């Protein structure tokens, strides 16, 4: 429950500046859109343990409420009018043991380019899900992909949007979706599935999206460069156990911006895994080299980091891992966020993040 409360508070903090901007109608900083989608997908078999799900095809439907920011300052961030939104979705996972799910995700969506009057956007988000048929040793032993009703979805993909009129448009999306409990309860192989969605969007405000303003090209001399120190606590449940264990770590990374909305980072990450046996640092500790890519949208930073273990006192699923993070800059020195660490397509833990810029 601690992790659930943290996630809820974090999402609300993320939405506070969005809501404030949306309410400043006198400055006309954003335009609201409501979209409805239907989705079809294919479950990804990422472990031999779930071969019995091969060929399963999830179906879903959802509503997106988004704010497109139209100020010159917003445009200067990414040479586009970026959107922030909330996506509410219902999923039938296509198999009786997997059941159904309801999810709410907060997402970022900058436009990458617009060929032939079609906006091609990157769409990434995370949130919270309710799943109605978790693993049960007696009544549902076949479901080993999730074992808690409350889990955490991630999505990333590309969307296309074509205006039909000033108020209406049609959209097409291709997304990778992942749902797991972040390692807080076992079994937890996670649900991974790719989807194609088609939908219709309606503009809720009377004003129109303005023409793109002219902006100066990105000047590398103005690129942001800094060193960050990040503490990331979390909880996980080891295999064959019902006890929750503390995991946490500390990372030191160098960050460098190389384009208007892109940056890279590199550094070291140390971890303490209380779910492992032993008491010495060599038993519970890990040290990794990490490098990542960052999407920079104002005060938001969505990063995809890869790590390689340099020292590890115990075996892991692989010698490398991925770490997906969404951080919000509270001020010039302090940030908060959420991070999901995974080995391949299997989540290890979900944790909070507190970052200090040195």
Task: Please provide the DSSP assignment of 200-235 as one string.
Answer: EEEE-SSSPPPPPPP-PPP-GGG--EEEEEEEEEEE
Cis peptide before 298 (omega within 30 of 0): no
Identify the three-state secondary structure at position 86. strand
25-37 burial: b if 16+ Cβ within 10 Å, else e? eeeebbbebebeb
pLDDT at residue 297 in the model? 79
Q: What pLDDT, on a 0 to 100 scale, did the predictor assign at position 264?
A: 97
Fold for 23-203, please state it: Porin (2.40.160)
Give per-10-residue mean pLDDT for the chain (358 aa).
Answer: 38 43 52 97 89 95 96 82 95 96 94 90 92 94 93 93 95 94 84 96 92 80 94 79 80 94 95 78 85 88 93 75 92 92 81 94
Per the DSSP assignment, residues forming a β-bridge with 151 are 129
Residue of 247, 256, 246 whose CA lies nearest to 323: 247
Q: What is the pLDDT of residue 309?
A: 94
Write down the residue that tokens 């009544």 correspond to.
139
What per-residue confidence (pLDDT) applies to 134? 95
Give the long-range contacts of residues 213-218, CB within 8 A, separation 24 or more. 213/72, 213/75, 215/72, 215/75, 215/76, 215/79, 218/259, 218/260
Same fold, 23-203 and 220-357: yes
pLDDT of amino acid 256: 97
Fold of 220-357: Porin (2.40.160)
227's CB contacts (< 8 A; 6+ apart) are 252, 253, 254, 255, 357, 358
How far is residue 267's CA from residue 170's CA, in Å, rounded to a whole number?
Answer: 43
Domain boundaries, the chain: 23-203, 220-357
């Amino acid at each position: 429950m601690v992790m659930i409360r943290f996630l809820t508070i974090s999402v609300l903090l993320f939405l506070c500046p969005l809501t404030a901007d949306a309410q400043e109608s006198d400055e006309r900083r954003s335009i609201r859109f409501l979209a409805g989608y239907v989705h079809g997908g294919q479950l990804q078999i990422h472990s031999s343990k779930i071969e019995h799900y091969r060929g399963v095809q999830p179906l879903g439907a959802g509503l997106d409420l988004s704010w497109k920011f139209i100020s010159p300052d917003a445009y200067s961030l990414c040479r586009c009018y970026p959107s922030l939104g909330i996506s509410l979705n219902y999923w039938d996972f296509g198999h009786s043991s997997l059941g159904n799910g309801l999810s709410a995700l907060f997402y970022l969506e900058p436009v990458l380019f617009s060929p032939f009057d079609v906006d091609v956007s990157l769409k990434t988000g995370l949130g919270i899900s309710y799943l109605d048929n978790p693993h049960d040793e007696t009544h549902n032993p076949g479901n080993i992909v999730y074992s808690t009703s409350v889990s955490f979805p991630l999505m990333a993909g590309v969307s296309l949007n074509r205006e039909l009129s000033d108020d209406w448009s049609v959209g097409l999306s291709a997304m990778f979706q992942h749902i797991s409990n972040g390692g807080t309860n076992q079994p937890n192989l996670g649900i991974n599935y790719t989807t194609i969605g088609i939908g219709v969007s309606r503009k809720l405000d009377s004003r129109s999206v303005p023409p793109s303003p002219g902006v100066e090209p990105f000047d590398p001399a103005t690129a942001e460069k800094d060193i960050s120190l990040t503490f990331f606590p979390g909880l996980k449940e080891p295999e064959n156990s019902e006890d929750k264990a503390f995991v946490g770590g500390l990372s030191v990374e160098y960050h460098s911006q190389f384009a208007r909305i892109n940056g890279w980072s590199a550094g070291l990450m140390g971890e303490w895994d209380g779910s492992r046996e032993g008491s010495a640092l060599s038993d519970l500790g890990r040290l990794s080299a990490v490098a990542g890519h960052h999407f920079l949208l104002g005060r938001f930073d969505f990063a995809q980091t890869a790590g390689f273990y340099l020292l590890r006192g115990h075996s892991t699923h692989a010698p490398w891992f991925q770490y997906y993070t969404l951080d919000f800059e509270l001020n010039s020195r302090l940030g908060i966020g959420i991070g999901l660490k995974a080995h391949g397509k299997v989540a290890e833990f979900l944790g909070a993040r507190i970052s200090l810029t040195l």
